[in-house]
Structure 1
Amino acid sequence: MTAKQHLDSPASLPEQQRWSMLSPVAYSESSMPTLRLARSSRLARKIAKTLFGLLVVTIVLMVFAPWQQSVTVTGDVLAFSPDQRQQVIQATIKGRIARWGDQIYENARVKKGQVIAEIRDLDESYAARLDLQLMNSRQAVAAAGQQIEANKRALAATETIVESYQLQVSAFETVKRETIAAQDAYIEMAAKKVQGEQQKLVEYQVALPQLQAEYDRMKTLQSENNISLQKLQEVNRKYKEATSKFKGAEFYYGAAQDELSGKKSERTAKVEKAQA
């Protein structure tokens, strides 16, 4: 027996109990012939499917297509950008309007530099006073410019003088260094001279006692007639020469010391003069 025959044949009671209200068999037209009266036609199903497809396409188009609305209204349009909006121009000074510009009317479009209106002050002499103040200001600016130019020239002259003084100071510094070097050389020479004279003085001072002892010994021998008088006179002459040289060495040593002191004083004076 096929499934259709099985569905069309009367079911036994146990089989009817096994059927569920949710199973497809429960809604079979074979089991319930009255369902045929409520069944929709094929044309209605096609129309419904077509409308459903159109609805889906419409929803997709509404999602991805730009949203636009058209409406007819009456009014003034305000630009979205602030710099493109209509601006109300206010005068920065109080006064009365003496003259309107050409092609100036309410809501008129104007260009840069176009005269909108001529505003005159309530005081007729106000413009003349402003012109006088402007002229005075220009004269003050011109005088200030001349003063600036004079100051620039004075500055240039001062810079020249300063440069000259700097050159003089550099020259004085050079002269000072050369003077100090020369005086140091003179002092060094004087110091060496003092050392040389001191060395001679020491030599003569050491030789005098020996010549004195030699003279005394020769004098004793001559008194005993052991040597001749000429020999004694020769020793006496040497002793006197040594004494004279010793005194000369003392004089030259003192003179050398005086010269050294003079060179030092001269150096100090010339250094102070060079610094001044």
Structure 2
Amino acid sequence: MKMEQATYKIPLKSLDTIYLRDQESKVRYWFYGIIMLLGLALFLPWTQNIQAKGDITTLFQEQRPQNINSPIPGKIAKWYVKEGDFVKMGDTIMQISEIKEDYLDPNLVGRTQEQVEAKKGAINFYKGKAATSSSQMQALLAAKNFKLEQLKNKIVQLNNKLNGEQAELEAVTNEFNLAKDQYDRQQKMFLEGLVSQTQLQQRNTSFQNALAKKITAENKIAQTKQELLIVEIDQNGVEQEYAEKISKAEGDRLQSLSNIASGQGEMAKLENQVTNYKIRNGMYFILAPQDGQIVQASKAGIGEILKDGERITVIVPTRVNYAVEMYVRPVDLPLVSIGQKVRFMFDGFPAIIFSGWPENSYGTFGGKVVAFEHTISANGMFRVLVAEDPTDRPWPQQLKLGTGAQGIALLKDVPVWYELWRNINGFPPDYYTLDDAAGKGSTKK
């Protein structure tokens, strides 16, 4: 018994160390310290943001993947590339051959050119014919003027002759009147027995001669007038005759000019065909429109038929100015503005994110909003385009079109307590304009 009591009186250090019966607890100090730290953390700055998912794209249409289509219907003759090959602009991708019967002639361009030359010869022939018709018209006009001048001279001569005959008729008429008067007196005297019958017969003879001269003169005048009328009729006939001849020559000239115009139109059409055939011959070789990689070939083998405009393959450009297309909710669209800063996390690139402290994040890349659409997309959101920020570190060269991206659009810096209070009450984030960033504007809500 004494032995046991002596054993209990031995001091045990482990017992005092484990239970700390004689020491004061410090848990409350740690509690108060943590509370104070949390209270101080509520006053730390917090960057409000909008988060949205997107994909890698490009701002330029010519840098996006594009289809390579067949410009004409044809048959695959030879492939010069395979899927995955990189090509330079102008490299041959495929050769096709003709399948339409209108273009099967291998010498189609030369034969069409011969038709052009033949049409040129026909046009030159009609030009010569038109020139000949013009010369013929000038000759007919000269002959007409000469003929009319002759008839005019003849008319003048007949008028002069008519004037002379009229003067002669007047003299013969005077002589006839005198002979008639003498004959009448002689006859009267014969009845009275003053003159003999022989004298009366002599006067009668003189009277008959004067009458004959008068009739002759009148006949000459009538004949001259008839000749004058015939010449005038001939003059009208010459006018009509040469008018018909000149009209016919003019018709031939106009017909030649019409044939020239028609021939020139046909020649232009043939020349157009020659040009089209030459251009079509150049379409048998399908060339790369730009530098890029050949992917998604939709045709295989040799001899497959291609339709007009049918897709052959796809080329992905190698030189791309990348951008991100992301979609934001309609409620967040008013918070997005041109030139706004955005941080990105790209798929495949590790990153450590503190959404409220972007400056302390690692592995993110900067961008700037360059455009946003004013119409809603099929997914119920608005599309926003963000380009690389030249003032930030460059985006990775390993990026490819279609790579996913997580975007964080940066808004106003506020205290942590304000951000908690805003989220609890469901208020929208604050944002600033470019003037606000320069200290010229006011914060909006």
Normalising by the residue count of structure 1, what TM-score does the alignment of the two structures yield? Answer: 0.50
Query: If each structure's helix is expressed as a fraction of its own residues, which one has the higher value?
Result: 1
More strand by share: 2
Computing the radius of gyration from Cα coordinates, the structure with the larger value is 1
Give the TM-score normalised by the residue count of structure 2. Answer: 0.32
